[in-house]
Structure 1
Amino acid sequence: MEGYDRLAALMTGDKGLSIFRAFKRLNAKNLLYLQAEIVIKEKELNRIMKEDRESREKFREQFSSSVRLLKGGEEPSAQWKKWMELRVLLGEYNTAFAQHAQLLRLKAPHGRDLEVFRGWLKENAFCATPVECDQWFGGNGESTKDLVTLSGRYENVDSLTRWVFGTVVPWYHGVVGDKKAGDEETGVVYYDDDRIIRATRVTSTITSSVIPATSMIVLYLVDHMVWRLVIIVLYNICFSIILGLLAKARRVEVFAASTAFAAVQVAFITNFPRD
């Protein structure tokens, strides 16, 4: 496989490398041009509508209340013809508007993925025309901010998973991965994102079970009430930090969970007498 076939195989093998140009400036310019055309047509339509209303011709004066009369017989009215021109422009504008809005919601590629992607492009000269390859390196006068990814591996995952993707996997690849045989089509060593996410999910589940259990054990072994309160504070701090890293929780959810955890610990130590 060579050229774009090989590049397509790379993007298929790793969703994080599905990196494309969004052409945000050109799309915005296209919207502006369509908008200007519509405004001009709208002004022309308003002029024709005014002429029809002031024509003192009963047939033309009824255009505003009858589409049948507006469309006319064999020959449509000037007002209807202008409406048809506007209808085409509005369809193009609405479609382009919705598509551009969807493009703007796409995320920029992660720095690590972009680095891997560019490294592959440098090692595999897939296109004979330099301008076609430069677009991924900020060439042609365009900024790299115009690059977007269709399906980033760093989206909708917790901080621990992002850290594994961005730090652990590259480290592991540097130690072990280089010794592995790469993909036959692209020469790249792939790592299963779903397996990594499952592993971090199991880690989060185990951690969420261990923290409350160890808290109860420590509080049971400590007799002094002051030290118990200090332990509760320290455990709550650790619990909040770990919860923020291991779960996709909002601040209010972290606050509520920490409050509930503290309440459970306080209820636990009330069963023991004060020294």
Structure 2
Amino acid sequence: MEGYDKIAALMTGDKGLAIFRSFKKLNAKNLLYLQAEITIKEKELNDIMQEDRDSQDFDREKFSASVWFLKGVAEPSEQWKKWVELRELLEKYNTACAQHAQLLRYKPPHKRDLKIFREWVTYNTEFWTTEECGQWFGADEHAKDLITLFGRYENVDPLTKWVYRVYIPFWHQHVSRYYHRLTGSTKSVAADIEAGAVYYSDEKIVRATRITSTIVSSVIPASSMIALYFVNDMITRLVIIVIYNVAFSVMISLMAKARRVEVFAASIAFAAVQVSFINFPRD
């Protein structure tokens, strides 16, 4: 594969690299032009409507209250012809508005994904025109115009984001590629030889962080109770409560998509549970 076929294969393998230009400026300009055309046609239609009302013609005076008369028996009226032109423009304008609104909702690609994509394009494919070469490069205006169709970092907790941004690059750079080079095995990753890329499954990463969060959320309260049980000194117990409460709040913030008020409420509830163990005597 070469050229666009190779890029399409890369984007298919890694949805997070589905990076395109949104052409926001051109789309906005298109909307402005359509709006101007509609404004002009609207003025022309209003003038024709006023002429029909002032015509003292038996049929033309009925246009405002009858589509049958407006469309005419033998030939459509000028008012109807103008309205048909306006209708076509309105359909284009409404469609363009909806599409542009959707484009504005797309997020820009994460800088790490963009860096990986640009490096891959630089070393794995080539274009025959300067304009096509600069689609993902070029001036800052181009960079600000890029969007990703798959928000890899959206709707995930901070721990998963950290795995994506820090752990996976470190693992691939220092562990994975040397292991696969020595063993020749690609069982833990999806390798696309034609596209020249190695993929790490987003689903497996999310599943792993979810399991980690579940385990940690179970271990912290249980270990807190065990620690408080084996400590008799009251001051030490209070210090343990503070330490565990801070650790619990940090873990909740990192491993769950929780708002501040939810973290605050969970921390209070956890502290209340620990307080119940302060006067718990050790046998």
TM-score by length of 2: 0.90
Amino acid at match of 1:154: Y
Amino acid at match of 1:74: A
Question: How big is each residue's C-alpha offset from its partner over 1:67-114, in whole Å with a ceiling of 9 and x where there is no partner?
Answer: 111111121111111110110000000111101111111111111111
Matching of residue 129 in structure 1 with residue 138 in structure 2: no
Partner of 2:192: 183
C-alpha spacing 1:61/1:232, structure 2 compared with 1 (3 Å): farther
Question: How big is each residue's C-alpha offset from its partner over 1:124-178, in whole Å with a ceiling of 9 and x where there is no partner?
Answer: 2332223202120134x83301111111322221111111111111111111333
Question: How big is each residue's C-alpha offset from its partner over 1:17-73, in whole Å with a ceiling of 9 and x where there is no partner?
Answer: 111111111011001100111111111111222222222333222211111111111
- Which has the higher mean CA deviation after the structures are superposed, 174-183 or 7-16? 174-183
Amino acid at match of 2:40: I
Pick one of 216, 223, 239 that aligns with 2:232. Answer: 223
Task: Write the distance in 1 (CA, Å) between the matches of 2:159 and 2:271.
Answer: 24
Task: Write the distance in 1 (CA, Å) between the matches of 2:125 and 2:13.
Answer: 19
Partner of 2:170: 171
Partner of 1:76: 76
Matching of residue 241 in structure 1 with residue 239 in structure 2: no
Partner of 2:48: 48
Matching of residue 150 in structure 1 with residue 176 in structure 2: no
Task: Write the distance in 1 (CA, Å) between the matches of 2:273 and 2:43.
Answer: 69
C-alpha spacing 1:53/1:212, structure 2 compared with 1 (3 Å): same
Instruction: Please say if residues 2 and 125 of structure 2, whose CA atoms lie closer than 8 Å, have aligned partners that are also in contact.
Output: no
What is the Cα deviation at residue 226 of structure 1? 4.0
- Which has the higher mean CA deviation after the structures are superposed, 175-184 or 57-66? 175-184
Percent of aligned positions that are identical:
65
What is the Cα deviation at residue 245 of structure 1? 0.7
Instruction: Please say if residues 108 and 149 of structure 1, whose CA atoms lie closer than 8 Å, have aligned partners that are also in contact.
Output: yes
Instruction: Please say if residues 52 and 60 of structure 2, whose CA atoms lie closer than 8 Å, have aligned partners that are also in contact.
Output: yes
Matching of residue 251 in structure 1 with residue 250 in structure 2: no
Q: Gaps (5+ residues) in structure 1?
A: none
- Which has the higher mean CA deviation after the structures are superposed, 93-102 or 74-83? 74-83
Q: Gaps (5+ residues) in structure 2?
A: 182-190
Structure 1 segments, 4+ long, off by >6 Å, are none
Number of aligned positions between the proteins: 272
TM-score by length of 1: 0.92
Partner of 1:14: 14
Instruction: Please say if residues 9 and 195 of structure 2, whose CA atoms lie closer than 8 Å, have aligned partners that are also in contact.
Output: yes
Task: Write the distance in 2 (CA, Å) between the matches of 1:177 and 1:147.
Answer: 30
Instruction: Please say if residues 7 and 126 of structure 1, whose CA atoms lie closer than 8 Å, have aligned partners that are also in contact.
Output: no
What is the Cα deviation at residue 270 of structure 1? 5.0
Instruction: Please say if residues 137 and 144 of structure 1, whose CA atoms lie closer than 8 Å, have aligned partners that are also in contact.
Output: yes
Task: Write the distance in 1 (CA, Å) between the matches of 2:118 and 2:14.
Answer: 14
